[in-house]
Amino acid sequence: MFDLKTAAWVVVAMLHLAVIMRADMLEGRDSSARAAWVLLLVTLPVVGVVLYLLFGEPWISQDFRSRERHIQHQLRPLAPRTDGKAATAGPTANAFRTFEGASRWPAATGNTARLAPDSDGAIDMLVADIDAASDTVHLSFYIWLGDHNGTRVAEAVCRAARRGVTCRIAADAIGSRGMIRSPHWTAMRDAGARLCSLLQAPLGLGFLVGHRVDLRNHRKIAVIDGRIAYCGSQNCADPAFLVKRRFAPWVDILVRFEGPVVRQTEIIFATAWTLETGEDLRPVMAAEPPGPSANGFSAIATGTGPLSPRGTMTDMFGAVLAAAQGSVTITTPYFAPDPPLIGAIVAAARRGVRVRIVFPHRNDNRIVGAISRAYYPVLAGAGVRIFEFRGGLLHAKTMVVDDTLALIGSSNMDHRSLDLNFENNVLLESAQLAAELSERQNCWIADATEVDRDALTSRPIARRFADNLLTIIAAVF
């Protein structure tokens, strides 16, 4: 007899089948992600359906997309127009062209930079620049804590706002929710700063604002007076990182730039700010962009995110790896690569490039940490040297190629950074700065343990099964 209970089960089964078909047929999804979701849906029917409906698709409303495209169309002409000759010759040419294709502006020549000595020193530099600001302070952080360093920056913003500097302060609604609810946030508003909580989702209902709940603004941007910009991995917090103190210290990197690349960085900030607040920042950037230095280097700032063509961040990583002739050193805390990215790393090692990757020994994200280790045998088999940093959580995202080309920024080598988060990175060609970054990487390696390649090739069957399963589901995380 066909009763209500039977009817309910039929409906659930049909819904389950429909979600499986959707996961399999979604356009633009790579085969590994397709397989991962289908496997999850088949093995965990109810839980898998709920997870897929929440996180299975990087959906963003058409209105949100069209507004972002319109803002970019308005702001992009403000980028400096240079011939980019220094950036388009030799083995690095295709890397810069890939970044130019993603940003839709040319690489900028004539930039200078200074590498912060450490996380506390980076905050010292930023606070000094805010205290010296005379026109504008633009800040955007994924995580901003109300600890010592976070408070110092908030107080510097208050001082700047009180003396008449226009301060536009943005923080991710989830990553910085503690700061946004704190007296420091109120104090900045009371001092006259303009504040924005990025990618809010009221009551966790993303459809109310036109985007998936877990899409986050992971960028770390500071632009002072339109002439100084910071880029790197560092959030606005102490190295002790109190919200996850047992993994401390968090080891980061931050670079202070001057030159035309500053304008590019400010456009990345302005795009998100205008999208969220509606304020048109074109008049703010009406003045000529910072001029090039005669002895400066080539660089390009690029913002990526779920509105970028699929695979954009992977293409950018791959282009930098393809430029390598002799050596590549990578640091990343979260490693769950898609097939093209793992393929690019393996290909570099197989053609004779000396590839080193440094991961944190203890990862605050256990699942991603396990996925990272699951890829060790593949990497080691290609000749990649793998190190695990033991001096805290190595959070820096860096890549140095042939002691001349370097990539720094907010992007990890995982699914979130490759496809879901809004990220910002700078590609640069400078023997001096690349040498400084390489020296910093070597310091981290000195405080790391190299993974035994032979041990990886003689794993027990159970471990190999678990590792292979983790690489299959990596696309979900």
Hey, which residues are catalytic here?
A: 218, 220, 225, 395, 397, 402
Contacts of 272 (CB under 8 A, 6+ apart): 140, 170, 198, 217, 219, 422
Rounded CA-CA distance 106/445 in Å is 34
With residue 32 as reference, give the H or E element that holds it. helix 31-43
Question: Quick one: angle between helices 4-25 and 45-55, nearest 10?
Answer: 50
DSSP string, 245-293: GGGPPEE--EEEEESTHHHHHHHHHHHHHHHHH----TTTT-SPPPPPP
Q: Which tokens is 443 given?
A: 């310091």
Rounded CA-CA distance 100/190 in Å is 40
* DSSP summary character for residue 413: B
Q: Could you tell me which residues are beta bridge partners of residue 428? A: 299, 406
Rounded CA-CA distance 357/232 in Å is 18
Rounded CA-CA distance 358/271 in Å is 33
Rounded CA-CA distance 468/445 in Å is 27
Q: Comparing C-alpha atoms, which of 20, 37, 22 is closest to residue 475?
A: 37
Question: Which residue is listed with tokens 């008449």?
Answer: 164
Q: Which tokens is 58 given?
A: 């990087």
Contact between residue 281 and residue 95 where contact means Cβ atoms under 8 Å apart: no
Contacts of 368 (CB under 8 A, 6+ apart): 334, 335, 336, 414, 477
**Residue 341 CA, distance from chain mean position:** 15
Q: Could you tell me which residues are beta bridge partners of residue 448? A: 389
291-296: long-range contacts (C-beta < 8 A, 24 or more apart)? Answer: 291/110, 291/259, 291/260, 292/82, 292/108, 292/109, 292/110, 292/111, 292/259, 292/260, 293/110, 293/111, 293/112, 293/258, 293/259, 294/110, 295/112, 296/109, 296/110, 296/111, 296/112, 296/259
Q: Kindly report whether the peptide bond that precedes residue 45 is cis, defined as omega within 30 degrees of 0.
A: no
